[in-house]
Structures are given as structure tokens and as C-alpha cells.
Amino acid sequence: MAGPYRVSRLTVTVHNTTDAPAGDRTTALPHSMIGAHLLLAVEGGRFLSMTDPPEWARHAVAELRNDHTWPVLAGPAGREDLVLSSPIILEDHPVLADESPGPLYDATEIDEILSLRTAALTEREKREARGTDDRAAEVVDLVDSMPDAVRERLHGAIRWLREVTDPPGPPAAGLTLPEGTGHPWWDPQQDPEAADAPTTIPIDGEAVGQAAYLSCGFILEEGVELSVVGRVAQALGDAARTAGVTVATGDTKVVDAGHGDGIFINTAGIGLVPDGVDIRPGRAAPGDAVLVSGQIGVHGVAIMSVREGLEFGVEIQSDTASLAGMVADMLGVCQDLHVLRDPTRGGLATSLNEIAGAAGVGITLDERSLPVPDTVANACSFLGLDPLYVANEGKLVAFVPPDHADAVLEAMRAHPLGKEAVRIGSCVEDHPGMVVAATGLGGTRVVDMPLGEQLPRIC
């Protein structure tokens, strides 16, 4: 299959080549493959689940065809080198249910159906069944002697009721490849070198900061497909585990069709702030260096292209990412970072204006230093937008004391998510509360707060 995962599509066909004599149904049955099961094993590789495939493989799985059989992962939970293909629908890693009172079939619902059908036989039919073979006699005797309390247990059981997220732990590994692990579902081409985010922030060798809890509220539009909600919830859980955060509580509301735009999610988080760390916007001071961790405007243009169906000649993918690891590296070389901010809705310009206003300082930018990729610049030029006002994810802006600016910038560039970090300006005493950019033509322009929303609200 095409793609970065080196995945192969396996086709297995089972033929009955028995030289059975011609005859009626009774004669043919002993030579047929009714209830045939197929076990497939692989050495040095892994099967993908057909029931719950990773996001990047869903399209390919949807195109597969299974005739009169259903393949699932077999063996203990976590095993991926064995597949069972059978003529009944099972879940991955099927096991015999504890509720099964005897060797009927696979338990619960199927046991219940078989038991009720057997119990409905007449005494004559039961005698005939017992005379067929020992197995049939065992099933009839088991059903006849089954107490009512045991029969009630066959109505089924809820097995997988659990917390929204599992306890914090290491993120689940993706598909193992010679080059490393598989990529997160939301972006198969995301930088494979991006490091997993730590749950603690070390300063002077001591872990002092820790991510904690997140609430999550889903607002669903009536009619939204449950499969879409499930994929979003799974992605949220995966991202929370990667960042070491527990989704501790949540809620779900449904609004009328046409009034919800599919799915809205609101969140709130709680974390532990290390002693001595204060990154509030009011701490920006004259002389501070203004650093940004990478290219700006990518996320906003990517979202706009998807929502509005726009094409710019090249694919622009969101750069969403957890920045905890890079922040840990920055604090490791300078605990006294003055301000950290994620320039999301309203873009970098909005964040800088809010910081300038809160601290009562001026901010000067070198427009030529702004890291705007060509794809974003071209898209903004086409749409009449300023990249400074386009939303970002996976990026941060930092205000750093001048004596530590070079060390912090070096630490940012050493992290996979900060490889393109640059210094874009500084804080000044002049024009307090204003952001001014020096243009490439030698002039200046005021970078004001946006007068309106340039994009639909995305965060």
C-alpha cells in the first residue's frame, strides 16, 4: 500500500476441494466447511485491527472485502501477530465469557439464543437430538438442568465501562517501523522526530512542574455521526496521555440540527506552577527579547482551507503540538522567563498587543525576521490577510531577559518543535501599549489589534 508505513494488503481465499459424493443435504453436510475458522500468524510483523484501525489506515480498511468471514486480532489483549477469521462477528481478542455455564458456544447472547432454542424443543425432538451424537446430548442435558438464575446471566454483561481516560502513563506506541514509531492519527506526515512531552519540568536537576487535570465538554449537533464523535474522543484521549494530563471530568450537550456546526468542545485545565516561575503578560519589561518558536500562520490557513474548501496548490497541514517538552528545556536554561504565550486565535499580533497593554511597554518587530512560510504568505496574499493575525497552534512567543536570550533561543532550536525559532523583536520604553513593525522598505507600521474575526472561531 502507498504511504509511509510499509503496510501490505493480505488476501486469503479458502476453497473446499473435498471430493464429496453427490447427494442430498444430509450427505453433503459432513464434507462442507460450515463454521470454518482460519488462524493467521506473522513473524516479525503486526496485523492492523479491522474493527478499530488507526486513523491513517481507515480509508484502506474501508475498501477491504470480507466474504462470509470476519477477521479480528486473536490471543491475549495487546497481541498483534495473530488473526482469527471466522463466520461470526467477534471483537478483537475474543475470550470465552465468564457467564457461559458450559460448552455451548462463545457465551452471553449466543449462549442465550442457543439455550432458548434448545429449551423450546419438544421431548421427542430432544430424544432425537440426544441420539445424534454425544455433543448434542450434552447441550440438551445442560439446558434442561440450567437453573433460572444461570439463565438470567445469559442476557449479557457490560464489560468495558471505564473512565474517560486511563491513568496517566507512557503513550501507546504506534506501528513500529525501522525508522521509529508510527505517527499520531491526526497527521500521518507529522515530524517523526517530535519528542513526547514530559509530565514534569526539571530545574537544576529537580522535577518541579507537572501537568494535572483537564475537563472536557462536548456540544454536539443533532445528527452528528457517533463514529466521528468516537474518533474525536479517542484523539483527545491519546493527546492527553501523550501530554501526561488526566481528563478528569466532562459533560455532553446536544443542540438542534443546523445550530452546532458538528462538534464544539470546551476545556479547562489545572496544573502545578513551579516556585519561582511567573510567565504572566504583565511581566514583560523594556529590553526583553521577543522570540517565536517557529513558522506562524500555518494552523489558521490549514483550518481555513478545510472549512472553506480552498486549495492553494500545495497541502498545508496544521502544526498542532504539545509544547511542554520545549518549555521544559527553556526553563532549564532560564527559570526567569518573563512571558510565555501561545498566539492562537487572533494570531501573533493579538498576543503581542495584549502583552504590551498588560505590561505597559512598547514592542518593536523586525518584519523581515518574521518566520512566515511561502505557503502561508501566498495564501494570505490571495485572501487579503495579514499572517500576523492568522491563528497558530504548536507555537509559542516568549519574552526573555536580554542576558538569557541567546541561551533560550539555542535551547528552543535544539528541540524538534523549535528548530525554526527566531528572535523577531524586543520590548522598548517608547510607545507603551503599542506594537510597531519595521518594514523591509525602511519605514514603520503600527500592528494594531484586529478589528474583527478573520477566521471562524477555532479555539
Pairing of strands 206-221, 200-203: antiparallel
Looking at residue 231, its pLDDT comes to 86
Q: In tens digits, what is the pLDDT along the chain, a chain of 459 residues? A: 655 567 888 899 988 888 877 777 777 777 888 778 899 999 988 899 988 888 778 888 888 888 888 899 999 988 999 999 988 888 888 877 665 666 665 444 556 667 777 777 888 888 888 887 787 788 888 888 877 776 666 655 555 555 555 554 544 433 333 333 333 333 334 433 333 444 444 444 444 455 678 889 999 888 888 888 888 888 888 888 877 788 888 888 888 887 777 888 888 888 777 778 889 999 999 999 999 999 998 888 887 777 666 666 656 777 788 888 899 899 989 989 999 998 988 889 999 999 999 999 999 999 999 999 888 888 888 788 888 988 888 899 999 999 999 999 999 999 999 999 999 999 999 999 999 999 888 888 998 888 755 554 555
How many Cα neighbours within 13 Å face the side chain of 58? 10
Cα separations (Å) of 308 from 96, 121, 303, 363, 455?
50, 63, 8, 34, 10
Looking at residue 99, its pLDDT comes to 59
Torsion of CA 16, 19, 22, 28, to 10 degrees: -50
Task: Name residue 255's beta-bridge partners.
Answer: 221
C-alpha radius of gyration, the chain, whole number: 30
Looking at residue 207, its pLDDT comes to 43
Looking at residue 129, its pLDDT comes to 81
Residue 244's nearest CA partner among 168, 320, 313, 130 is 168
| C-alpha–C-alpha distance, residues 1 and 207, integer Å | 44
Pairing of strands 206-221, 263-272: antiparallel
Neighbours of 401 (CB within 10 A): 15
DSSP track, 296-338: -SHHHHHHHHHHHT---SS---------HHHHHHHHHH-S---
Task: Name residue 251's beta-bridge partners.
Answer: 217
Supply the pTM of this predicted model.
0.53
3-state secondary structure of 376: helix
| C-alpha–C-alpha distance, residues 212 and 162, integer Å | 19
Neighbours of 317 (CB within 10 A): 16
